[in-house]
Amino acid sequence: MKSKKDTKVLMCMSGGVDSSVAAHLLLEEGYQVVGAFMKQWTDGGDVAGVCTWKEDRRDAVRVASFLGIPLLTLDFEKEYKEMVMGYMFKEYSLGRTPNPDVMCNKWIKFGFWLEKAKELGFDKIATGHYANISLTQANMYELTAAKDTEKDQTYFLHQLDQKQLSQTIFPLGNFTKDEVREVARKIHIPTAEKDESMGICFVGEVPMQDFLKQKIPTTPGDIIHSKTGETLGRHQGLPFYTIGQRHGVVQKGGDEPLFVVQKRQENNTLVVGYQGDPLLVSNEVVVENIHWVSGQSPTFPLQCKVRLRHRQVLQEVRVEYKKGQHVLQFSTPQKAITPGQFAVLYSENTCLGGGVVK
């Protein structure tokens, strides 16, 4: 195994405070560090959006100069539009709600980026994710939760495999966000006070429904009440709605908010109901295309914990394998489980993997 001073690391730098501090920490540990800004989106073409990549790259250049490291600019726009945007539009068109961040990590950051890093002669890549990697006595790489439980990003990283983990460093795994800010201020990193980026970068402030309409046609249908069957209005197309989202339609004579509780593909009907609607609650769910971080399927039934959305408190679950399907049985009924989203499994603070809610 190479010593740190002989290990060449390509640090993925977004221009934000997290990746900036991560680069600094790698240098402190003695690694040979080169920064890389990954260009993934520019406006133009058949999809219009908003992306601040020019400003972000400018910040990355400033930080690299401050730290005294080279900065490469690598273009993965073609791969990103195909593997992440293509996936997103396809899933929405099927009436599901995808998570593009998971696919970006799987195919772009720890796929094409990692391949490029190896091609350029680097030993490892590093990112500003809040997560940890540990090596067991059996030489198995485990993906484990970050010290900062509020910032932990293992949910978005659960599709990584042994090879990807073996070639990755997460310098921020044992830091809280406040500690990262403190380090940045202490050494006067140029991006110390930069706001955190939120949401999907290429969508920007455009309403998601408007963004999706660029590729997905409107297919109007009825909105009905789950209990009364009363028609309350018309929707613009099932792909534009998510299970559990609050709906603006108003029931006559009532001021209690209504939520999307079901999408009936067979007759293009959107079903809405009150917050406590039985259709919003599930005792079990089928999960498809499960990926195990270890590369090995466990013994079933598996008693573990699950997170059905980022930052959700971990829930007790029993995983069964029945008739070729993975079925998650919850100890406590779960609300607003959304097809297309990921169910991510944990044993204590170790991320086991996860799959797509059917």
104-139 pLDDT, tens per residue? Answer: 999 999 999 999 999 999 999 999 999 999 999 999
The per-residue pLDDT for 53 is 80
Q: Give the mean pLDDT of 160-177.
A: 98
| CB distance 37 to 74 below 8 Å | yes
Q: Give the mean pLDDT of 72-77.
A: 94
The per-residue pLDDT for 255 is 74
How many beta carbons lie within 10 A of that of residue 96, not counting itself? 20
Is 79 buried (19+), middle (13-18) or exposed (0-12) by CB count in 10 A?
Answer: middle
Residue 95 is which amino acid?
Answer: G
Q: At what angle do helices 17-29 and 177-186 cross, to 10 degrees?
A: 70
**pLDDT at 195 > cutoff 70:** yes
The per-residue pLDDT for 23 is 98
The per-residue pLDDT for 48 is 64
* Residue (of 308, 267, 275, 334) closest to 99 by Cα position: 308
Complete domains list, the chain, with CATH: 4-186 (3.40.50.620), 217-276 (2.30.30.280), 281-357 (2.40.30.10)
Please say if 201 is a catalytic residue.
Answer: yes
Q: Is the dihedral of CA 211, 216, 218, 221 positive or negative?
A: negative
d(CA 13, CA 63): 9
The per-residue pLDDT for 203 is 62
Work out the pLDDT band at 46, boundaries 50, 70, 90: low
Please say if 304 is a catalytic residue.
Answer: no
The per-residue pLDDT for 196 is 83
Q: Which residue has the tokens 């699950």?
A: 306
Q: Give the mean pLDDT of 213-233.
A: 95
| CB distance 215 to 208 below 8 Å | no
pLDDT more than 90, % of the chain: 85
Residue 91 is which amino acid?
Answer: E
d(CA 134, CA 225): 50
* Residue (of 330, 323, 322, 319) closest to 354 by Cα position: 319
**pLDDT at 202 > cutoff 60:** no
Q: Give the mean pLDDT of 267-288.
A: 96
| CA-to-CA dists, residue 334 to 42, 307, 308, 309, 312, angstroms | 39, 10, 9, 11, 11
Catalytic residue among 12, 201, 304, 351: 201
Tokens of 286: 């089928």
**pLDDT at 302 > cutoff 60:** yes
| Cβ-proximal residues to 46 (8 Å cutoff; 6+ apart), any chain | 214, 215
d(CA 352, CA 140): 12
What is the chain's mean pLDDT, rounded?
93
User: Computed over its alpha carbons, how large is the radius of gyration of the chain?
Assistant: 22
Range from 49-63, 128-142, 241-255 carrying the lowest mean pLDDT: 241-255
Catalytic residue among 12, 51, 104, 304: 104
Q: Kindly report whether the global pTM for this prediction surpasses the value 0.85.
A: yes
| CA-to-CA dists, residue 171 to 127, 300, 301, 304, angstroms | 7, 34, 35, 27
The per-residue pLDDT for 41 is 74
- The bridge status of strand 132-135 relative to strand 141-144 is antiparallel
**pLDDT at 285 > cutoff 80:** yes
**pLDDT at 272 > cutoff 80:** yes
